[in-house]
Amino acid sequence: MTAPPDDCLARNEWICGEYLSTRRHILLDAVAQHLQLTAISVLIALAVAVPLAVLARRWGLAAGPVLAATTVLYTIPSLAMFSLLLPVYGLSAALVVAGLVLYSLTLLVRNILAGLRAVPEETRQAARGMGYGPVRLLLTVELPLALPAGMAGLRIATVSAVSLVTVGAIVGFGGLGNLIYSGMNTYFKAQVLTASVLCVVIAVAADLLILAVQRLMTPWNRASRG
């Protein structure tokens, strides 16, 4: 009988320290791409979502079309979304970013709009009585009070983006999804498990980081709970 190989890579085990040590640079590159795609997508979506939510809050007639449009975008399956965007962006990282931005808009617009709508009308009236104009009212009163709801949407959108980045592996820009996809094709157990666990770690870390930032930016919430 032939003795089993000593190398866990040769035995194709799910948990293999040898894989981590020999593929460290590959993993770091994949993590970096994953983080980059997620961050760029969420930041662009946030930059678009805030004006849309403000528009929907200021002009009630715009709320319906804005919410409807973003909801329809969210219902499109990810593979179909990337296919629809392919003629515009080609096989590029921009294709993945564009798809993630469109998916993130629904979560961000709804939460930011909900936060703006929750600002008490008497607070707005008091600010106007103190001479606040529309822009100052928005920046110093409405947006800060809407921050908890907006940050909740940001947390959900970020975690969703971390997950959806992996689908970008179909065009070669999926971060850790590239490793998962290639590992599944070759049944490379250690690669599939390691990349999957790192995706979960990134999602949890991003959620906790945004939660910590939210608490720093809303000290009045901590004071009220205390």
Which residue pairs, CB below 8 angstroms and at least 24 apart, start in 9-12?
A: 9/190, 12/187, 12/188, 12/189, 12/190
Q: Which of 78, 94, 101 is nearest to 164 (CA)?
A: 78
Instruction: Tell me how far apart the alpha carbons of residues 218 and 114 are, in angstroms, rounded to a whole number.
Output: 17
The phi-psi region of residue 172 (left if phi > 0; otherwise alpha if psi is between -120 and 50; otherwise beta) is left
Mean pLDDT per block of 10 residues along the chain (226 residues) reads: 61 80 88 95 94 84 80 84 87 90 90 87 84 81 86 92 90 89 86 92 94 82 55
Return the SS3 of 85: helix
Which residue pairs, CB below 8 angstroms and at least 24 apart, start in 127-132?
A: none
Q: Give the pLDDT of residue 3.
A: 47
Instruction: At 4, give phi and psi (nearest 5°).
Output: -65, 145
The pTM of this model reads 0.85
Q: Give the pLDDT of residue 157.
A: 93
Q: What sign results for the dihedral spanned by CA atoms 144, 145, 151, 156?
A: negative
Q: Are 88 and 123 in contact (CB under 8 A)?
A: no
